[in-house]
Amino acid sequence: MKIAYLLDRPELGGGVKVVYQHAALLAAAGHRVTVAARGPRPAWALPHGATGVEHVDYSQLAEGEAPRLPGTVDLAVATYWTTLAAARRLAATAAHLCQGYEADWPHQRHNAAAIEAAYRQARLPAWVVSPHLGELLRRRYGVPWRLTPPPLDRRFRRRWVDRLRSRPRRRPWIAVPGIFEAEIKGVTTALEAVRSLRARGLDPRLLRVSVRPPSAEEETLRRADLFLAAVGPRQVAAALRRCDLLLFAARPGEGFGLPLLEALASGVPSVASRLPSTELMVRGAVPLVPWDDPEAFAAAAADLLTAPWRWRQARRDGLAAAQHFRPAAVAEQLREAVTWAAAGAPDGEAE
């Protein structure tokens, strides 16, 4: 089957990476897969050793226009609200890989009406990274859905030497991911929690990871000891493995939470916001606290960092939870989603 994913702009970020991860898994299963995007393929996007994924740059076309691909596309997959209409035009059979409902994102409030209109007009069956997104789309637009979560990125893994470490460092490294200016990422809450840890007698060091450099406003809250700005997954993975804890303070509207999964796979204990996606992902392996409560984050972090046995258990539980997203398991879910979409996406109980 020839499958085409339609990306908007292939910018550095988890959403773009997941598209290429899915494309690589489908190519490995024997499908002919193309990713069409408004820009060149990012060097970091494909998993190591992945082959068989073609890239087409259609940035010269007008907004909303579908790219022209050689041959007949059997299945077109929209990946963002701006690509819904184009996917519908590109192939007789189309689906929508939804990694978050854009109209609920604070930075997309000004586009909410256009987003809702695009969803209503396209009414594409959905592939979703978390079941709560599927239920949201079913309620609002009456579309059926199937679960196709992100697979583990094998660059994020525990080093063999880390198995020898039985406790957090005396001055622990704490990772906080996300764009400070993106309200949905909750970075302010996480930075306030790090500041509160010092008041609790801890003296943590801070790793910040963002696609943007630090702003003056961010640095008034807490200056990072190491700030990785706009670097690829390999560098992020290497730095994350050396951390003792990750704080994931995303707000409602977050579709999945890829940095949290990457921390679990790296053997890094975490504290996260209680959201539908995080509850499913962590399966009890991570303390979940209210997304808007820095003191709750600080208290849960202190519990892990001051109790070595609890920290070790969190690391073991996180590694086990991450295995539910191993590539072989996700590849099977994708295979079923492709078969379902090709059959006309019959409604019924979602899986």
Within a domain: residue 349? no
Same domain, 311 and 184: yes
The domain in which residue 57 lies consists of 2-151+326-342
In this structure, are 168 and 233 located in the same domain? yes
Same domain, 284 and 197: yes
Same domain, 72 and 139: yes
Number of domains present in the structure of the chain: 2
Residue 351 lies in a domain: no
**Could you tell me if 260 and 311 lie in one domain?**
yes
With beta carbons less than 8 A apart as the criterion, state whether 87 and 122 touch.
Answer: yes
Q: Is 52 part of any domain?
A: yes
pLDDT reported for residue 23: 97
Does 348 reside within a domain? Answer: no
Q: Are residues 295 and 182 in the same domain?
A: yes
For position 285, which CATH number holds? 3.40.50.2000
Answer whether residue 31 is part of any domain: yes
Do 286 and 334 lie in one domain? The reply is: no
Query: Do the domain assignments include residue 165?
Result: yes
Q: Is residue 98 part of a domain?
A: yes
- pLDDT, one tens digit for every residue, the chain (351 residues): 999 999 999 999 999 999 999 999 999 999 999 999 999 999 998 887 788 999 999 999 887 778 889 889 999 999 999 999 999 999 999 999 999 999 999 999 999 999 999 999 999 999 999 999 999 999 999 999 999 999 999 999 987 777 778 899 999 999 999 999 999 999 999 999 999 998 899 999 999 999 999 999 999 999 999 999 999 999 999 999 999 999 999 999 999 999 999 999 999 999 999 999 999 999 999 999 999 999 999 999 999 999 999 999 999 999 999 999 999 999 999 999 999 999 998 875 555
